[in-house]
């Protein structure tokens, strides 16, 4: 409704009153009607005026209440989230403090042992007393204790006379120049007691190839033990071997060829004996380094599973990526990532189950070196 038209009609009513053509009661009724029309017009044009004149409608009241309730709920949720976050922060601080305290205690223990060892060394140098027998007996007792720990790997201290895995100094009785062909007394006892357990020296772990090989063996050994505990059956062994075929092939094709017939005749040999022989062959194979040449052979072998799936462009791309890896231009993670992509794209179930494509957590970044 136009405000000017309503005002015009009000002026017309006023003129009628002045000329006596309209009684006062009629004037009041007409005036009220026009005022009501004026209000409705403004209400239609401006909801703010409507709210001032008539107050909010039931629907608006309900919407306002809903917004207020939603805001209160959001505030409660935000408060709870803040309380949870604060609790997590406090918990994390407490855990970090506990770890720090443990580290400090361990450092103090090591320092104490080192001090005692230094004192004993000085005493030995003065008295010329030989502690080899005592150290050997202690090492044998200690490895027997460690047998109950279900170890999957062990890291030795480089060049240590007790824990060095290789190249330990050996002094001659006549005081000549020492040689570097010894093994630490504890390390020797440990490796004799656990001949199949993955072991490494902390210094050698700086080599990316040795580091990957060591950690890979740890994960494989853990999976084998789980298989022996949960499914020590012919079917369980077949499943384990099937999923590790390409991983074994990347270390030793000779062991791969020996392990296939062993698994195939597991029923005739007896499951306990077969698992024991398989364990030996598996750890022997994985102890051999996986070279670029071996990995290239496995990558080309996997490419054969896509011969009916890849188009010409995809085949060319995969061949180029594998060749770049063979020439040591890109790390192993590049062709493996591309093959993993094709495994998902073409639903290659056999390769999907191969641990070779995911032998250890990707966060370790063990295949990112060239």
Are 230 and 265 found together in one domain?
A: yes
Distance CA 105, CA 364 (A): 28
Answer whether residue 47 is part of any domain. yes
Answer whether residue 60 is part of any domain. no
Give pLDDT tens digits for 12-29.
666 665 665 556 666 667
- Is residue 51 pLDDT above 60, yes or no? no
pLDDT at 349: 95
Is the separation of the CB atoms in 243 and 355 below 8 Å? yes
Answer whether residue 309 is part of any domain. yes
Are 214 and 360 found together in one domain?
A: yes
Are 195 and 226 found together in one domain?
A: no
Are 189 and 321 found together in one domain?
A: no
| 343 confidence band (pLDDT: 50, 70, 90) | very high
Contacts with 326 (C-beta within 8 Å, 6 or more apart), sequence order: 292, 293, 296
Region 270-285: mean pLDDT is: 94
Between residues 181 and 204, the one the model is more confident about? 204
Last residue of a domain, one of 205, 228, 263: 205
Distance CA 37, CA 10 (A): 11
Are 113 and 233 found together in one domain?
A: no
Between residues 216 and 100, the one the model is more confident about? 216
Answer whether residue 369 is part of any domain. no
Are 82 and 121 found together in one domain?
A: yes
Global pTM reads 0.65
- Is residue 81 pLDDT above 70, yes or no? yes
Answer whether residue 166 is part of any domain. yes
pLDDT at 47: 55
> How close are the terminal C-alpha atoms of the chain, in Å?
81
Are 125 and 137 found together in one domain?
A: no
Answer whether residue 59 is part of any domain. no
Give the Cβ contact number of residue 173 at 10 Å.
5
| 202 confidence band (pLDDT: 50, 70, 90) | very high
Last residue of a domain, one of 205, 228, 247: 205
Give the Cβ contact number of residue 183 at 10 Å.
19
Are 90 and 38 found together in one domain?
A: no
Are 160 and 223 found together in one domain?
A: no
Dihedral pair phi/psi, residue 330, rounded to 5°: -135, 155
Helix (H), strand (E), coil (C) string for 123-180: HHHHHCCCCHHHHHHHHHHHHHHHHHHCCCCEEECCCCCCCCCCCEEECCCCCCCCEE
Total of domains in the chain: 4
Lowest mean pLDDT among 125-134, 198-207, 348-357: 125-134
pLDDT at 231: 76
Task: Looking at mean pLDDT, say which of 55-69, 161-175, 226-240 comes out highest.
Answer: 226-240
Distance CA 353, CA 348 (A): 9
Distance CA 300, CA 2 (A): 84
Q: Which uninterrupted H or E stretch holds 49? A: helix 47-54
Lowest mean pLDDT among 67-81, 121-135, 147-161, 234-248: 121-135
Contacts with 100 (C-beta within 8 Å, 6 or more apart), sequence order: none
Is the separation of the CB atoms in 43 and 54 below 8 Å? yes
Are 166 and 179 found together in one domain?
A: yes
Lowest mean pLDDT among 158-162, 188-192, 271-275, 309-313: 158-162
Are 108 and 150 found together in one domain?
A: no
Whole-number average pLDDT of the chain: 84
**Segments forming the whole domain that contains residue 326:** 210-364
Answer whether residue 288 is part of any domain. yes
Contacts with 189 (C-beta within 8 Å, 6 or more apart), sequence order: 136, 139, 140, 142, 143
Distance of CA 326 to the CA centre of its chain: 28
Bridge partners for 199 per DSSP: 154
Bridge partners for 155 per DSSP: 200
Last residue of a domain, one of 156, 173, 205: 205
Are 256 and 296 found together in one domain?
A: yes
| 205 confidence band (pLDDT: 50, 70, 90) | very high
Answer whether residue 82 is part of any domain. yes
Region 99-117: mean pLDDT is: 75
| 104 confidence band (pLDDT: 50, 70, 90) | confident
Between residues 30 and 20, the one the model is more confident about? 30
Helix (H), strand (E), coil (C) string for 58-105: HHHHHHHHHHHHHHHHHHHHHHHHHHHHHHHHHHHHHHHHHHHHHHHH
| 176 confidence band (pLDDT: 50, 70, 90) | confident
Contacts with 16 (C-beta within 8 Å, 6 or more apart), sequence order: 22, 27
- Is residue 338 pLDDT above 90, yes or no? yes
Is the separation of the CB atoms in 325 and 295 below 8 Å? yes
């Amino acid at each position: 409704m136009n405000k000017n038209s309503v005002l015009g009609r009000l002026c017309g009513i006023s003129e009628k009153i002045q000329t006596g053509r309209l009684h006062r009661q009629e004037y009041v009724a007409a005036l009220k009607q026009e005022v009501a029309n004026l209000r409705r017009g403004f209400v239609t044009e401006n909801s703010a005026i409507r709210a001032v004149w008539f107050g909010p409608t039931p629907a608006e009241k309900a919407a306002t209440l809903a917004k207020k309730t939603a805001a209160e709920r959001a505030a409660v949720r935000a408060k709870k989230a803040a309380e949870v976050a604060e609790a997590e922060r406090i918990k994390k601080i407490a855990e970090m403090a506990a770890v720090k305290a443990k580290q400090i205690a361990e450092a103090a223990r090591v320092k104490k042992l080192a001090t005692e060892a230094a004192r004993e060394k000085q005493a030995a140098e003065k008295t010329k007393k030989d502690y080899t027998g005592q150290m050997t007996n202690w090492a044998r007792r200690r490895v027997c204790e460690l047998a109950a720990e279900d170890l999957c790997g062990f890291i030795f201290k480089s060049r240590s006379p007790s824990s060095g895995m290789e190249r330990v100094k050996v002094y001659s009785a006549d005081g000549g120049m020492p040689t570097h062909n010894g093994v630490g007394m504890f390390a020797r006892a440990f490796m004799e007691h656990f001949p199949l357990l993955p072991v490494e020296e902390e210094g050698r772990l700086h080599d990316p190839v040795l580091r990957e090989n060591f950690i890979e063996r740890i994960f494989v050994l853990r999976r084998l033990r789980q298989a022996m505990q949960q499914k020590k059956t012919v079917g369980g062994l077949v499943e384990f071997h099937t999923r590790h075929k390409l991983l074994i092939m990347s270390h030793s094709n000779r062991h791969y060829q020996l392990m296939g017939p062993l698994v195939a005749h597991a029923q005739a040999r007896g499951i306990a004996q077969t698992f024991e022989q398989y364990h030996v062959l598996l750890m022997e194979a994985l102890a051999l380094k996986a070279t670029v040449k071996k990995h290239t052979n496995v990558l080309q072998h996997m490419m054969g599973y896509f011969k009916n799936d890849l188009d010409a462009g995809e085949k060319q791309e995969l061949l180029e990526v594998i060749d770049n890896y063979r020439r040591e231009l890109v790390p192993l993670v590049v062709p493996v990532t591309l093959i993993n992509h094709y495994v998902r794209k073409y639903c290659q179930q056999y390769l999907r189950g191969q641990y070779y494509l995911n032998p250890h957590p990707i966060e370790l970044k063990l295949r990112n070196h060239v």
